[in-house]
Structure 1
Amino acid sequence: MNKLITLCKALFIVLLLQSCNGTETFTDNEIDPKLQELISRKNDSLLAAMSNSDLQSFKALGSPDFVKFLRSRIESSVWAFRKGVLNTEYKIYKQYYNKHSNTNSYAKLESEDGDYTFTFKNNTKETYVALLKTSYMGIGDYLVTVIYELHDNQWKVDHVNVGVFGQFGKNAGEYFELAKQKEKEGYLIDALFYSDIAVSCLEPAGKMLVYDNIDKMQYYQKEWQNRVSSQYKFPQVVSGVRSNPQIVDLKPVVNTEGMFPMFSYVTPVPLADKKILTMEFEDIKREVRNLYPALDFNAKYIYYRAYNSPSPGAAHHEFKETQN
């Protein structure tokens, strides 16, 4: 009986400690509009400071700990703004206002859609996490993560991070879904292209944001990579073309309209002989459809680069096939 009582007491203490370490979270429209507006102004000031390395603004915005270690807190994040890669325009991706039972503990925020978990250390009993999305030329998307803490009734920046979020408005999870759909349709090469993007965007907030299906993303990317590598070897002789050009590479390229496949091939036809080169290209277009059935040729553009030498940096001539 004494052992049972002791066990019950221990269980009660564990449950009590768990309740004390709880976090009450308000998301997006649940947050007081006045607080949202206040944080919005601070976000604007922070990004402006990042664009011109305004140390005085950083000091005014930062918590005591942030200011004490200012250089280490900002050096990995300001370069993209300072170099003009990113501008100060942004959209709010997600925001969380948190009330914590304890300080110096770790809070865990679950996304409403079940896509990710965000974990961070709270040094005060009230925190505000602002996830801001910005982009480079509308192509590459970046996530700016800002964590505010309430110090003496004033909201201060304690953490800022910039990480790759995705491309063309889609994040890692969305690209993984596209990859699975392409694989289901029989387009394994496209599935690999999309999964490559997914795994390159798995840490938009460093180690704080973890996608729930990260293991699946990484597993299938490796699986599809192995399958593509075993099925398609380079160089690939295009024997159906009289000049016997060799496909030496197939990879995705990105422009402002999207991501498209690009073939690189070595040909004996001189690049200066545009007439013969174009005639050869028309034959290559036909043959690659037979050689690469795992590629979706319905893309708006398909690029081809002709080389006379496989050496790095060699001159090339580019063709662009446009789908009607």
Structure 2
Amino acid sequence: MTPNPLLIKLFCLLAVFSVLQSCSPHDPGTWKNGEIESSQKEDFHALNKQLLEGLKSNSPRQVEAVMSEVFIEDVNRLRLIELCSNRLKEDSYTLLDEYYVVHKDRGDKTIETKDRNINNYSLHYNAETREMYMAFFVPKSIPNKYMISAVYCKFNYGWKLTRLELSPYTYNGKTAPELFEEAKKMYDKKYLLDALDDIQLAQSCANPYEGWQYQDESGMGDLHSKVIEELNKKYVYPFTLEQVPTHPRIFSIATQTTPEGVFPLVYYKSTVKLSDAAGLKKENDNIKKVIGKLIPGIDQNKKYVYYDAFNEWPRSDRSVDRVDLIDKLK
């Protein structure tokens, strides 16, 4: 029996239509983490692997292989690759969150994340193409984490990286909302300096990606202003530690960022010669005995307090000698 040519053509058309349907993109929607189909996830993770390997080895050529044509023309890309490379050498990075999005139209979009409790956030971005993929990477174990954010768009020449960012995500192992909560606790205890440090760190890592906005940021600015006002009333720099026989004068208190976290740094002017190591240590031991009474909380619940001793006031036109001392509290 001779096959009917019309039936053969109809069968071929149906087969082609079926293939096209299976290859067509999803209807508009957002898929997060485990919701992304495994086959798509494999492709996305292959892109991520190539990107992270290129960044870690500081290889512009390897990174540019996954970049969009516009991104490759960005004059700042080489410096950004170098900065990401430095961070990737600090610790192993892991995928925090990933999103595959199919848009109905272009323009400003928002994704709401509601499964991270105090760390819930909104993700604001511009829908450049119908299909986009966003991945956010953070270090596994270090306390001061920088987030690497990668945004890909699907063009007619394939999936390409259109945005790469590097910004603080945590300090002392805490995100911005967690630091904000800690700042409020410190303020209630009247640990004003600790409250100031926590709120400033919270503000520094409140936007680990340009479009990342935590849902509970309200009040950060108000608390910061309130703490500053109270500290300015309580401490007028420089002030003398009358309880210490050598009468050192504290002229500033800042923070020291280390691989183990962020800790207080006390600057003071000493009458003890910087060359007198034994004399400086004795004076510093005496400072450590009274510092917690003068500045409540500064020597509590932290690993270190750092000190810088000077014999003359710092100057803006030249460097001034100093001696670094560390109080190991734990």
- In the aligned structure 1, how far is the partner of 2:45 from the partner of 2:159? 12
Other-structure match for 1:15: none
- In the aligned structure 2, how far is the partner of 1:71 from the partner of 1:219? 38
Other-structure match for 1:201: 205
Q: 1:230 and 1:115, CA in 2 relative to 1: closer, same or farther beyond 3 A?
A: farther
Whether the 8 Å contact between 1:76 and 1:161 is mirrored in structure 2 is no
* Runs of 5+ consecutive residues of structure 1 not aligned to the other structure: 1-21
- In the aligned structure 1, how far is the partner of 2:326 from the partner of 2:95? 37
Whether the 8 Å contact between 1:249 and 1:265 is mirrored in structure 2 is yes
- In the aligned structure 2, how far is the partner of 1:233 from the partner of 1:27? 51
- In the aligned structure 2, how far is the partner of 1:284 from the partner of 1:193? 21
- In the aligned structure 2, how far is the partner of 1:209 from the partner of 1:159? 14
Q: CA deviation at 1:247?
A: 1.1
Map 1:1-324 onto structure 2 (within 5 A).
24-50=29-55, 51-55=57-61, 57-58=63-64, 60-67=65-72, 70-72=73-75, 74=77, 77-81=80-84, 84-87=86-89, 89-102=92-105, 104-112=106-114, 113=116, 115-134=120-139, 138-152=142-156, 154-206=158-210, 208-312=211-315, 313-323=319-329
Q: CA deviation at 1:192?
A: 0.7
Other-structure match for 1:8: none
Whether the 8 Å contact between 1:178 and 1:191 is mirrored in structure 2 is yes
Other-structure match for 1:16: none
The residue type equivalent to 1:319 in the other structure is L
Q: CA deviation at 1:245?
A: 1.4
- In the aligned structure 1, how far is the partner of 2:84 from the partner of 2:188? 40
Q: CA deviation at 1:294?
A: 5.0
- In the aligned structure 1, how far is the partner of 2:69 from the partner of 2:84? 24
Query: 1:53-85: CA deviations, max 9, x gaps?
Result: 434652x42345545xx3257356323035x35
Task: Give SS of 1:251's match.
Answer: strand
Q: CA deviation at 1:189?
A: 1.0
Other-structure match for 1:12: none
Task: Give SS of 2:74's match.
Answer: helix
Q: CA deviation at 1:139?
A: 4.9
TM-score by length of 1: 0.80
Query: 1:260-314: CA deviations, max 9, x gaps?
Result: 2222211112222333333322322222222112535342322222221122432
Query: 1:133-173: CA deviations, max 9, x gaps?
Result: 248x9353222221222334942222222222222443222
Q: CA RMSD in A?
A: 2.7
- In the aligned structure 2, how far is the partner of 1:63 from the partner of 1:282? 58
Whether the 8 Å contact between 2:113 and 2:121 is mirrored in structure 1 is yes
* Runs of 5+ consecutive residues of structure 2 not aligned to the other structure: 1-26
- In the aligned structure 2, how far is the partner of 1:89 from the partner of 1:242? 49
- In the aligned structure 1, how far is the partner of 2:153 from the partner of 2:309? 56
Query: 1:226-256: CA deviations, max 9, x gaps?
Result: 2222211211111122222111122222323
Q: CA deviation at 1:86?
A: 3.7
